[in-house]
Chains A and B, each alone.
Chain A
Amino acid sequence: MRVLGLDIGSRSVDAVWLDGGRMVRREIRDTGHDPLAVCAALIALDRHDRVVATGYGRHAAASAFGATALTEITAFALGAASLHPTAAAVLDIGGQDTKTIALGEGGRVSDFEMNDKCAAGTGKFLEVMARTLGFSLEELGDAALAAESGVRVSAMCTVFAESEVTGLLHRGEDRGRIALGVHESVATRTLGTLARVGASSPLVFAGGVARNPAMVRLVRDGFDGEVLVPDDPQTVGALGAALHGTAES
């Protein structure tokens, strides 16, 4: 049985092919403006017996390609628990939302939180801040890592924070210190959400933002316990979707 797991997010479409439960291929594409076309191209890349879709585009993919739909929360929990069988909690910071998941026995979701409306504290927030500071996303993380201390950025709303950061630049604050402040603001918010779901150790940090070394360091510093980052944090959701399909068949 070959299962294709697709995680159709706001920034990227991630694909994982499992054959008999073993990963045989993975791909990452930009979502662009036509997610279904991106999915169709990925589906055509390799063979599969069934498709399980997660992420924003899961229902659209279910109707377009007959895929099974699964929420990101369940998908990330399954993916994280398979990579790290001892995982007790999962943090996924994606392009437009943040999820914190507490895992019960057998890697099952026991509780979760997800931002309910806006993109505060997500990858989108970091992206907008990078642009305001004149950094690429990679440079933003590196600059934050290099800074000794952060400037406090208090606005949670992406739009307000952008004005706040612009104000800090005009006051002549160092870009690197602002970059660190921006990361600290996301980390503080995220750690609060982890506490609310009662996340215990070890925590798996997944999603695109887990590739940002400054975020990883701040989450490690602030979390009371071990923080595990998968080698390919972005495809954990797609892996979970494919695992769901394998388990169901």
Chain B
Amino acid sequence: MEQTMTETVDYTGMWTDLGINLPAHCALLNAIPKMYADAYLTQDARPEGMKYFDFVLSEIHGLRIQELVDHKLAGGKVVGTFCLYVPEEIIRALGGVAVGLCAGAEWGYNEVERVLPRNTCALIKSFMGFKMDRVCPYVESADLIVGETTCDGKKKAYELFSEMAPMHVMELPQMKRPEDRTLWRSEIDRLVTRLEELTGNKLTVEGLRNAIREVNGKRRALQRLNAARAASPAPISGKDALLAVQVAFYDDVPRFTQMVNAIADELEARVRDGVGVASADAPRILVTGSPMAIPNWKVHDIVEKAGGVVVAEEMCTGSRYYDSLVDEDAPTVEGMLDDIASKYLGVNCACFTPNTARTDDILEMAKTYRADGILHYALQFCTPYQIEAHTVERAAKDAGIPVLRVDTDYSTEDAGQLSTRVEAFLELLRAVRV
């Protein structure tokens, strides 16, 4: 890796082999570095360790894809996912590599709107657009895509997606009663069967335990990184912390864990020395809501450029991803699968009803991270989060925490209005403090 940082490698051959639409892909690859530079490289006092992520982003469709291709050449499989409910432990235990798929940018909408209604959420339109235009090398290198029935939009879009790529859809229950746990546990078994067929491998106690430990290690590293954000001044920007979780979905697990632990070391030292990325009086914001896939940094960017600092994310690209671990001690494969099932069903997504535990999590996090205000972020047409915003807002206000509700998408057409609302919210938070 050290050597490649200074070399420019031509990946055109690899992309051609994967069937990528080269001209469109080229346009995409020209756009992302500009967005990244504007959002990330303009920041002051970034942790040294974030250089790793600069490198990862510069090789987002290059070196990492090369690693996946090499893995496939060695007989391994690549499994694409859209959601954190798909257990990475099982994929790894069977010798597969799990990768999160592209879904964070407005791409190929003209094509997409021929098959999907215009008023579909940006995330769904985006993953359909990346596939229809053949610009996501992750999805093109995947041997199987595993979806889940989290929301109606995704569920129905997967029917169309499965016409373009091999797909397995897990039925995620929408309640958490004993019978739902039974259903979910059987869905885990169904996934195991499908992945055993795909990889030709069988789950073993040792293999599954190692995978659980590895993925737990990744989550523990993210827990450490995020724990440091409770300090004031915040030792890392929200944007950088968000990026770490976004990258967790597709990076090599042991390497990622090592790099994030190194950043956590650095942040812990910063906290000891009182070093921060924002002044101690910058309003501290907790962001909660719909997931933010790369390169969706819009809300964090607006908040932090307006003088606030995001100190935590209660979202799938945030605490829901790393907060809970899978028990490592079960003696049998069945026991480990039970533990995997209950860990994942414990995640509080708005697709569940009721989902009061999410509100409890938010209030708890607001306290832990000393948030001055909560920004509820929902993608437009993401009905579960848009409706749940009301419950969250009511509970937060009862607890004396101001809330700003933002319903938006991946476009920049509302950036002006959004900036004004965010700036006014920060002014409100500063005034409350005085």
- Closest chain A CB from B234 CB (angstroms): 23
Q: Is A72 an interface residue (CB 8 A)?
A: yes
Residue of B nearest to A73 (CB): B424
Query: How long is the Cα–Cα vector from A15 to B70 in the complex, in angstroms?
Result: 66
- Residues on the A chain within 8 Å of B431, using CB: 74, 108-109
Q: Establish whether residues B413 and A117, one from each chain, have CB atoms under 8 Å apart when the complex forms.
A: yes
Instruction: Flag A23-58 by CB within 8 Å of B: 1 or 0 each.
Output: 000000000000000000000000000000000100
Q: Which one of B414, B427, B432 contacts A71 once the chains associate, using CB atoms below 8 Å? A: B427
- Residues on the B chain within 8 Å of A108, using CB: 428, 431-432
| Interface of B: prevailing SS | helix
A108-B431, A109-B431 are known contacts. Are A73 and B417 too (CB-CB below 8 A)? no
- Residues on the B chain within 8 Å of A73, using CB: 420-421, 424, 427-428
Q: Which one of A74, A111, A114 contacts B417 once the chains associate, using CB atoms below 8 Å? A: A114
- Closest chain B CB from A89 CB (angstroms): 14
Interface residues on B, range: 10 to 19
Q: Is A70 an interface residue (CB 8 A)?
A: yes
A56-B416, A97-B417, A111-B402 are known contacts. Are A116 and B424 too (CB-CB below 8 A)? no
- Give the size of the chain A interface in residues (CB under 8 angstroms): 17
Query: How long is the Cα–Cα vector from A117 to B431 in the complex, in angstroms?
Result: 26
Query: How long is the Cα–Cα vector from A72 to B431 in the complex, in angstroms?
Result: 15
Q: Is B59 an interface residue (CB 8 A)?
A: no
- Residues on the A chain within 8 Å of B171, using CB: none
Query: How long is the Cα–Cα vector from A111 to B418 in the complex, in angstroms?
Result: 15
Instruction: Flag B368-409 by CB within 8 Å of A: 1 or 0 each.
Output: 000000000000000000000000000000000010000110
Q: Is B196 an interface residue (CB 8 A)?
A: no
Q: Establish whether residues A116 and B427, one from each chain, have CB atoms under 8 Å apart when the complex forms.
A: no
- Residues on the B chain within 8 Å of A69, using CB: 423
Q: Establish whether residues A112 and B413, one from each chain, have CB atoms under 8 Å apart when the complex forms.
A: no
Measured CB to CB, the residues of B under 8 A from A are: 402, 407-408, 413-414, 416-418, 420-421, 423-424, 427-428, 431-432
Measured CB to CB, the residues of A under 8 A from B are: 56, 69-74, 97, 108-112, 114-117
> Can you list 12 pairs linking A and B with CB atoms under 8 Å apart?
A69-B423, A70-B427, A71-B420, A71-B427, A73-B428, A108-B432, A109-B431, A110-B428, A112-B424, A114-B421, A117-B414, A117-B417
Extra A-B contacts (12), CB below 8 Å, given A70-B427, A73-B427, A116-B421: A71-B424, A97-B417, A108-B432, A109-B431, A110-B428, A114-B417, A114-B421, A116-B408, A116-B414, A116-B417, A117-B413, A117-B417
